[in-house]
Amino acid sequence: MSTIFEPGRSLEVRYGCDVAVCGGGFGGVAAAVAAARSGKKVILLEKQFMLGGLGTAGIVTIYLPICDGRGRQVSFGLAEELLRVSIEHGCEKEYPSEWFDELPDDASDDEKEARLRARINHRYRLRYSAPLCAISLEGLLLREGVTILYGSAVCGVHEEGGRITHIMVEGKGERFAISAGAVVDATGDADVCGFSSAPVEYFKQGNVLAGWYYLLADGKVDLRMVGGAADVPAGFKPASGGSSSSSNPRLPNLPEGRFLGLDTGELSDVTIRSHAATLAHFLAGGKLSDTHALTMMTSTPQVRMTRRIAGEYTLDIAEEHKYFEDSVGLFPNWRKAGPVYELPFGTLWSRRVGNLLTAGRCISVTDPMWDISRVIPVCSVTGEAAGCAAAMVCDGGHLAEADVSALQSELVSRGVLLHE
C-alpha cells in the first residue's frame, strides 16, 4: 500500500467550552443536558444533521424498558425525561398508560394490585416517531443553552499532561479546533477514545446486516425490521470464527458475514447491501402505489457494537443485583424481566486521560453486557452521569481525584436512583 505525506497544518481554535460532548445520540444529549444544568458552557458535536443517533437516523425507534419487568421502575432522571420528550408530540405505538397514568391517592388495594399486574404485563417502554423525537431533542438542548454543531466529526485530539485540551473537528469544507475543559465521548464508536491515549477494546463477534424501514401499507404507516434486532445476542456468539466479509485491519478474523463497523470501505459495502435488502423486502409486499409506499429508511448504518473504552472497571452481565459503592445509576435487562444492574462510575473513564468520560455504547463492559447496555435507556443513564462528572472536572480536575460522593449526591438530587 502506497502512502503520501499530508503537510502539517495549524488549526484555528474556533470555539471554546467547559464541556464538549461528541455525539448527539441519546447518551450525548443526556450528557449535554446534565452538564448544562450544572451551569457549564456546553458544545455538542454531531456528524449528522439530526439528533438521536441510531434511535432516529437509524430508525431504531424503540425506547426499551426503564423498569425491571416486575412492576418496578429502576431508571429515573434523564432516562425517564428523555422517554417523555420523545413522545411530547404523540406516541407512535405501545403507549404505556399503566406507567404514565397515576392512581388516585385513595385507590383501593384491589386497584393497586391491578395496576401492578398491568405494569408487569406491559413494561415501561414505547415506540416514538423518529423525526419528531429528533426535533424534540434539539429543542431540549437549545432550551438548556447547549451549542449544537451539526456536520461536525471528531478527527483528532490534543493532549497535554494526561488531559485533552482540544478536539480537532472536520466540518463542512474545513477543519478547526475546540478547546474544552472536559470531554464526553458519546460517538457510539469511541472515536475520541480512539484518537486519544485512552485504552480501547473491540467487539470481537462483529455486527450483522440490518436495514429497518417505515412503509405505508393498507393505510397505515408501520416499522419493518430487516435483520431483526441487528445484534448478536449472548449465547449465540461464537468463540471464534472464520473469515469476515471485509478485511478490517483491526479485527481480521471476524466470523463469516459479520463486520466491525469502523472502516470506510466496510461500512460503505454494508450500507449498499442494507439498501438492497430494504428494497427487496419492501417490493416483496408489492410495487409502489398510493397504498404501498416506502416512507423512511435509515440514514446511518445500523451498527450496534464496535469499539469501547477499557475503563477502570468492566461490568459483566453476571453482575446483576450487585452492589457497587460508586454506582451512578440503575438499569434493567431489556431482554428479560428481573435483572437490575448498578452502574459503576469506573465504567465511564480511564485514568490515562483525566478529563475524558464515555457515555452510551462506549462504556466499559464485557461483550455479553454490551448487548444489554447499548440501548437508549442505558445510554441516557450513562450520559447523565458522564455529563455531571464532566462538569466537576472541567476546571482542571482529574477523574481519579473526583469526589464520587458529591457526584452521587448531585445525581440523587436530580432524581436518579443509585442502588436497589
Q: How confident is the model at residue 251 (pLDDT cuts 50, 70, 90)?
A: low
* Ranges for all domains in the chain classified under CATH 3.50.50.60: 13-203+307-413
Task: Mean pLDDT check: name the lowest of 29-38, 128-137, 187-196, 221-230.
Answer: 221-230
pLDDT for 295-307, tens place per residue?
A: 999 999 999 999 9
Residue 242 has pLDDT above 50, yes or no: no
pLDDT value at 228 more than 70: no
Phi (first) and psi of residue 193, to 5 degrees? -60, -40
Beta bridge partners of 228: none
pLDDT at 248: 63
Query: Is residue 274's pLDDT more than 90?
Result: yes
The class level of CATH for 13-203+307-413 reads: alpha beta
Please report, rounded to a whole number, the percentage of residues in the chain having pLDDT higher than 90: 85
CA distance 211 to 274: 5
pLDDT at 237: 52
Question: For the sheet containing 292-297, what is the strand order?
Answer: 220-224, 213-217, 292-297
Q: Which three cell numbers stand for residue 48?
A: 449528522
Instruction: Provide CB contacts within 8 A for 36, sequence distance 6+.
Output: 42, 141, 144, 145, 146, 387
12-16 average pLDDT score: 97
Q: Is residue 240's pLDDT more than 50?
A: no
Rounded average pLDDT over 28-54: 98
pTM: 0.94
Lowest-confidence region among 92-101, 203-212, 238-247, 356-365: 238-247
3-state SS, residue 118: helix
Rounded distance, CA 343 to CA 77, Å? 14
pLDDT tens-digit series, residues 370-388: 999 999 999 999 999 999 9
